[in-house]
């Protein structure tokens, strides 16, 4: 249809295969611009949103094809036939098509594209009313054409919607035998990602017995890396096939060179994380030799493995350096057990969920700030709900503090010493919102309105982890996440203070706030007597100290 992108795709076909592109639309507009009598008649038809009569275009197409017949490798007839009869006439006067490419886009997508084009094109038919008329006529005319050529077995339907837009993409890089495949399996099980291994795709191609498979087998037997662009199309096709159901993609063993990563981003999208599964060379060698005893793989021999590892290090070091410059690399020590390694992997992925949640939170901060004014009135409603709540006898402690104030570390120690459960609202919200679940959509709607969710109960205590701003800045920068630089760190701190001060003031009025200075060492600051012996013992922890 108009605005489906068929013209753009034709340009790419011409560049790659040397075909001549003939657009019935371009030929019609050239005729209109010529000022001829036929051009004036065509202009009147197009302004009404009607289709040009059946036989008007055919002569122009035929003349253009004859002019290029001696030099062209083939012809792309763009926008023709518009009716079955046009196709039949084309075949009588010129010849039969070998293929029909059906570039399929949703009606709303085409309307948006054409309206945007109309802002600069100056075309009289790029207005909403005329566009909708054109689309109605297009569907009525085209459906019989597609059905006619499907009966001949030459139709190939191309989905022009960008199915991979906003997909979460994680590159997983590691040497042969580093265990990256095993870690990918565990990620799929826990987080619902789709695992695409360039190695598996290559081996499937080799097993197919195709000519390309034979060439790949010869390269792999020598311990060499497969050429740069061989894998990308297979990966893209596999991603598109899973795009509607997957929560993200693990691209295992790709990119192997910086240029591959750049091409991936141009054609598919940018990764949000690179997991570097790092194992020692001798560890990988031992694992692969052991695998070779049972795998039957021709590339699992000691000499071939050494060649592969040497090539791997030469190719991978620039890739890691390139993405480290982008701040998305997480290095995983792969020398431990599978579960120990996965613990590091899970932390890296969950920090990604947290970052998504934080970005969403900063975006919605103006609405959240307004919700603080509702706190006092909603508190009384919360007390009524509390009477029938199963948690009414639970001890609840609120813990507030800036990012890297030390509250997470102290929560761990409280859990260990007193048996409390540690719940981080930030992480729960971040993971839930990122999951795309039904509840996540409800939460997003609440947050966008600046409202609070139902309250649970009355806290026994609020621990305020009081750390100087400069201390938190130093700690965050030292931690070294992608978003941990002075500028990005100071902004959330400023927002944190604005949000936290009214909360602390509110609960101070109820006499349950205990402010703890965390500029001390960890051991001193956690000493149970340093908290508040009488308040914690009597009101919360019930311990004799």
| Phi, psi of 333, deg, nearest 5 | -75, 110
Say which residue, 381 or 164, is predicted with more confidence: 164
pLDDT band at 94 (very low <50, low <70, confident <90, very high): confident
C-alpha–C-alpha distance, residues 184 and 370, integer Å: 42
Topology match between the domains 6-159 and 169-335: yes
pLDDT band at 249 (very low <50, low <70, confident <90, very high): very high
pLDDT at 187: 95
Judge whether residue 525 has pLDDT over 50: no
In CATH, the number for domain 169-335 is: 3.40.50.300
Average pLDDT, the chain: 79
Nearest to 235 by CA among 198, 262, 180, 206: 198
C-alpha–C-alpha distance, residues 354 and 433, integer Å: 10
Query: What percentage of residues in the chain have a pLDDT greater than 70?
Result: 80
Dihedral (CA of 155, 158, 159, 160) sign: negative
Question: Domain boundaries in the chain?
Answer: 6-159, 169-335, 354-509
Judge whether residue 540 has pLDDT over 50: no
pLDDT at 374: 52
CATH architecture of 6-159: 3-Layer(aba) Sandwich (3.40)
C-alpha–C-alpha distance, residues 399 and 516, integer Å: 10
User: Cis link prior to 6 (omega < 30° from 0)?
Assistant: no
Please give the structure tokens belonging to residue 240: 């598109």
Q: Per mean pLDDT, which range of 326-340, 356-370, 414-428 is the poorest?
A: 356-370
> Hey, what long-range contacts does 128-134 have (CB within 8 A, 24 or more apart)?
129/49, 130/47, 130/49, 131/2, 131/3, 131/49, 132/49, 133/48, 133/49, 133/50, 134/2, 134/49
Rg of the chain over all Cα atoms, to the nearest angstrom: 32
Instruction: Sort 390 into a burial class: Cβ within 10 Å, 0-12 / 13-18 / 19+.
Output: exposed
Q: What is the pLDDT of residues 279-313, one digit of tens each?
A: 998 999 888 888 877 776 666 678 888 888 888 88
Q: Per mean pLDDT, which range of 331-340, 386-395, 495-504 is the poorest?
A: 386-395
Contacts of 299 (CB under 8 A, 6+ apart): 220, 221, 223, 305, 308
pLDDT at 276: 94
Report helix angle 425-435 to 438-448, nearest 10. 120
pLDDT at 535: 41
Contact 102, 146 (CB under 8 A): yes
Q: What is the pLDDT of residues 210-244, one digit of tens each?
A: 787 888 889 888 888 777 777 787 888 788 888 88
Residue whose token pair is 């293929």: 99
Q: What is the mean pLDDT of residues 454-468?
A: 71
pLDDT band at 321 (very low <50, low <70, confident <90, very high): very high
Contact 399, 515 (CB under 8 A): no
Q: What is the mean pLDDT of residues 27-56?
A: 84
Q: What is the pLDDT of residues 400-428, one digit of tens each?
A: 877 777 778 888 888 888 888 888 776 77
């Amino acid at each position: 249809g108009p605005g489906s992108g068929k013209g753009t795709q034709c340009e790419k076909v011409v560049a790659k295969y040397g075909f001549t592109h003939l657009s019935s639309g371009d030929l019609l507009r050239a005729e209109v611009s010529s000022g001829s009598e036929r051009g004036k008649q065509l202009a009147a038809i197009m302004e009404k949103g009607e289709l040009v009569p059946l036989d008007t275009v055919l002569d122009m197409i035929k003349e253009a094809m004859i002019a290029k017949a001696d030099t062209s490798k083939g012809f792309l007839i763009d926008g023709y036939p518009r009716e079955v009869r046009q196709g039949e006439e084309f075949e009588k006067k010129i010849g039969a098509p070998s293929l029909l490419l059906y570039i399929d886009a949703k009606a709303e997508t085409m309307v948006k594209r054409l309206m945007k084009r109309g802002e600069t094109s100056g075309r009289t038919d790029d207005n909403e009313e005329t566009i909708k008329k054109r689309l109605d006529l297009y569907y009525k005319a085209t459906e019989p054409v597609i059905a006619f050529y499907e009966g001949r077995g030459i139709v190939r339907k191309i989905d022009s919607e960008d199915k991979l837009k906003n997909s979460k993409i994680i590159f997983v890089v590691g040497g042969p035998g580093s265990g990256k495949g095993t870690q990918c399996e565990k990620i799929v099980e826990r987080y619902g990602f789709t695992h695409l291994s360039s190695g598996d795709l290559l081996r499937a191609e080799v097993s197919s017995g195709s000519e390309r498979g034979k060439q790949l087998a010869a390269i792999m037997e020598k311990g060499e890396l497969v050429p740069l662009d061989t894998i990308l199309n297979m990966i893209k096709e596999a991603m598109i096939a899973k795009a509607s159901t997957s929560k993200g993609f693990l691209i295992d063993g790709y990119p192997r060179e910086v240029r591959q990563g750049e091409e991936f981003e141009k054609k598919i999208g940018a990764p949000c994380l690179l997991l570097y599964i790092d194992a020692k060379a001798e560890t990988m060698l031992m694992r692969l030799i052991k695998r070779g005893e049972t795998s039957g793989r021709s590339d699992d021999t000691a000499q071939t493995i050494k060649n592969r590892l040497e090539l791997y290090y030469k190719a991978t070091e620039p890739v890691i350096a390139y993405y480290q410059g982008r701040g998305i690399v997480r290095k995983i020590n792969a020398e431990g057990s599978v579960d120990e390694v996965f613990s590091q992997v899970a932390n890296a992925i969950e920090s990604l969920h947290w970052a998504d949640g934080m970005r969403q939170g900063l975006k919605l901060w103006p609405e959240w700030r307004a919700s603080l004014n509702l706190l006092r009135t909603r508190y009384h409603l919360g007390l009524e709900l509390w009477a029938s709540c199963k948690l009414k006898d639970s001890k609840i402690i609120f813990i507030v503090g800036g990012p890297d104030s030390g509250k997470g570390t102290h929560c761990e120690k409280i859990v260990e010493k007193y048996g409390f459960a540690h719940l981080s609202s930030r992480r729960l919200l971040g993971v839930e919102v990122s999951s795309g679940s039904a509840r996540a959509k409800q939460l997003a709607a609440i947050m966008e309105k600046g409202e609070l969710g139902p309250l649970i109960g009355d806290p026994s205590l609020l621990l305020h982890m009081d750390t100087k701003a400069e201390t938190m800045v130093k700690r965050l920068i030292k931690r070294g996440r992608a978003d941990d630089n002075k500028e990005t760190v100071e902004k959330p701190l400023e927002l944190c203070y604005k949000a936290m001060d009214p909360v602390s003031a509110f609960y101070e009025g109820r006499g349950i706030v205990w402010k703890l200075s965390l500029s001390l060492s960890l051991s001193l600051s956690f000493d149970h007597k340093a908290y508040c012996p009488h308040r914690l013992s009597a009101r919360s922890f019930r311990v004799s100290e």
